[in-house]
Chain A
């Protein structure tokens, strides 16, 4: 049942590195992460890899497998021909720490910029909120995100342009904005921020993020495009702009 798998794994750190060849004995039903673990246990005890749940729920073990971003724990080896070499490299968008581990602080820093959830007053007679399932379906879709950051990895705005990380938060954060903006209870308005610092305009809808999402969230269609529409409405609809100006004035009058 077992066979020898040819693997090529990137090893190195911030100063550089190289692909190294290994042969690992694997068995039927294994996933790529199993092969990496076996490599660690038998040939490369210090091979750095980030992983946690090994069940596709935590989003820790993202890497590029034969050039495509994947959760290593959910990638079956039978996806590849038995003679095929499986090449594993770290996510390219983020700086390498060591081997397959990258520094993903960018995502956490961007998350800190998102204005938090601010619910309105509960409407139920028991003092609790009421929401209809149909109204939260879309929000729940976004909240399936396991923060594997593979959408960030393939987003060509930030993958290929280091300087754009300053002006575009990336698809993961767009989904976070969308989840808050579409939350039936939320009262914050993040549209100016989306247009400005979060840079929703930088997305030009190639849908690469949607393609790689392991949770099958329709990031572009259901998240980013509606956000763009909201921002466009708010920024370029003249009637809405007047209304907003009037609303803005009132808090100032209160002092």
Chain B
């Protein structure tokens, strides 16, 4: 059987922010580029991002710079981040935001006409460039228009089934030779020959019952990479966003932006208590207000008040809500109250949070300008993913690159809100450049040729569910299997984990995988969602196993991984990333040491020299009124720089290694203004 065949220099899999940015860059570098995506162009999960994109542009707070952003990111990730990725991200994010403006993005403005930046959890300064609460839509539409303007080839509703590989004369191992996919509309197969492939397929949340993720988030990129021989890293770290809708049941999990809290919303339990004050961890205590009076004052007086505890990093807030509900102080629908109605006037709420207003009004009959929202944690983001080189986003498989949520490293054990959209464009661009360079180095006969046997094997495998339906007998419904997998992951690999439950989860996943061997689908190949799900299930099951395996191995609690049986951080695990590979069909986990941070970055975490910024009082803008264009902005702490109480250092166990740096000195910013 000969499938429809195309030939390119670079094939980008996924058309969210990272994929589109990678494709644009590869094109700019002179490569012939194809974008292959599972849905229509412009519908990728990036459209669901709400709050904004973090970039130290210092438009609202002149004190902000990349070092502060770097430090916030590392601390938010509990120091497990790849420091070099966090550095590149913080240095390059501002240029990527300005570039979007150059391409037509229309961000909200400051009174002096610059890009407005909003407060978000874990960010020291108001740093998120945004458009109301629909920033992701703005990002994807801007990149989409750019792709259209550049006349790039986009293969929509085309789902990749396998990465094709060929022997690599340079290493003796395998290297990328292309991808094999199927067209949804016709059900026919299509093959793309290319020496470079960029995976930008997003996350894995659809394996949980309560998730903010769309049906697309089935871990395709992670599974494709693993099966092709690349490595995954940090898969135990799954972010549960603290505020998802909890009612009605059919909308459970839909995201409620952190912007609600950034713009003044607070959390209360059914006793009326503003409970986040009870959950301020030691490491953030000096940064965080300890009375309601101080927290409320912060919105108008950032000079003497500290941040409200509602704006702690997401892992902290999600765990707190979970604890409140478990202690019986949750709402009847199993959430807590998020209240902005009693704190901001209706006009302000509608202006700042139009989608949230609309979403609650339409889906829950709740007017958020009049009553509180009911919210609870929802599976939102995976920090782990495909292991990549920080500079080029190259994976461990030659020719394969990865960017965005499907790649690992930037966020460590917990991602700060706003760091995802900037991640997409910063590392999407680098992946595109890396992929183009790799392809340019391979010409003519040097180019790999896909293996026909791989194609034949994948076709047979993909069509098996139809064969089984014809054969009859003991078959499985893909929808039932997906639902059962979601139940396993929700109950056994959720926010709070234990060894017993994780072991049980792995057993159940094995059984589900056996059942998946019997999946049968009715109908024919044309636009068949049951068939599509049957194919997606292979990725979902493999990735679920990765999460449970890595979670079982990490015997500590850190960021998006909380073990009831190991509630504290552990100094040994503080220096280890878990790396997963597939060997002969079996997952192989290796703990690899974290790279050592150079001294000039490590000292940012020392106290008191760590003080990253001059006093907020020095140049703080006048407290901005809560009007249409001015957000409650910026942050400050009561402590003066150098007082030592500014921001506490990480506990010794989680701190960066203090040994002399083996890495080159800090360099590489192309954002000189912030350097």
Contact = CB atoms under 8 A, between A and B. Distances in A.
Given A34-B250, A56-B362, A146 B108 contact: no
Nearest to A41: B479
Interface stretch (A57-65, A159-167, A219-227): A57-65
Interface in A33-65: 34, 40-42, 45-60
A83 interface: no
Interface stretch (B165-173, B267-275, B527-535): B527-535
Interface stretch (A17-25, A126-134, A190-198, A204-212): A126-134
Contact of A117 (B145, B363, B522): B145
Interface string B125-154: 000000110101110010001101101000
Contact of A140 (B131, B216, B483): B131
A53 B216 CA distance: 9
Nearest to A132: B113
A86 interface: no
B43 interface: yes
A187 interface: no
Contacts of A56: 355, 358-359, 362-363
Given A45-B478, A45-B521, A133-B628, A117 B248 contact: no
Task: Sort chain A's interface into a size bin.
Answer: 35 or more
A108 B155 CA distance: 12
A6 interface: no
A27 B185 contact: no
A144 interface: yes
A74 B629 contact: no
Contacts of B114: 124, 128, 130
Nearest to A49: B529
Interface stretch (B98-106, B552-560, B608-616): B98-106
A132 B109 contact: yes
Interface string B60-98: 000000000000000000000000000000000000001
Contact of B47 (A53, A103, A111, A116): A53
Contact of B529 (A47, A60, A103): A47
B141 A143 contact: yes
Contact of A108 (B41, B47, B216): B41
Contacts of B134: 57, 144
B54 interface: no
Nearest to A42: B479
B523 interface: yes
A55 B359 contact: yes
A112 B101 contact: no
B35 to A, nearest CB: 13
A52 B521 contact: no
A147 B628 CA distance: 26
B480 A41 contact: yes
B411 to A, nearest CB: 22
Given A55-B48, A74-B362, A74-B363, A99 B527 contact: yes
Query: Most chain-A CB neighbours within 10 Å: which of B145, B216, B250?
Result: B250
Interface in B351-405: 355, 358-359, 362-364
Contacts of A53: 43, 45, 47-48, 214
A116 B104 CA distance: 9
A211 to B, nearest CB: 16
A104 interface: yes
Interface in A123-163: 124, 126, 128-133, 136, 139-140, 143-147
A86 to B, nearest CB: 15
Interface string A82-124: 0000000000000001110101100010011000110100001
A52 B106 contact: no
Contacts of A47: 529
B598 to A, nearest CB: 29
B43 A60 contact: yes
A28 interface: yes
Contacts of A57: 47-48, 134, 136-137, 355
Given A41-B480, A112-B148, A136-B106, A59 B363 contact: no
Contact of B527 (A42, A101, A126): A101
Interface in B242-295: 247-251, 254-255
A31 interface: yes
A213 to B, nearest CB: 12
A143 B131 CA distance: 10
A240 interface: no
Nearest to B628: A133
Interface centre among A42, A52, A108 (most CB of B within 10 A): A52
A19 B275 CA distance: 53
A132 B48 CA distance: 26
Contacts of A74: 362-363
A48 B98 CA distance: 40
Contact of B113 (A27, A34, A124): A124
Contacts of B116: 133
Contacts of A117: 103-104, 145, 149
A183 B104 contact: yes
Nearest to A104: B40
A76 interface: yes
The 3 A-B residue pairs whose C-beta atoms are closest, nearest first, are A29-B248, A46-B523, A130-B113
Interface of B: 39-45, 47-48, 98, 101-104, 106, 108-109, 112-116, 131-132, 134, 136-138, 141, 145-146, 148-149, 151, 185, 214-216, 247-251, 254-255, 355, 358-359, 362-364, 477-480, 483, 521-524, 526-531, 628-629, 673
Given A60-B39, A60-B43, A131-B106, 13 more contacts: A29-B364, A41-B480, A45-B477, A46-B528, A50-B39, A51-B215, A52-B214, A54-B251, A57-B137, A128-B101, A128-B115, A130-B112, A131-B109
7 contacts: A27-B249, A46-B524, A57-B137, A124-B113, A140-B106, A140-B131, A143-B137
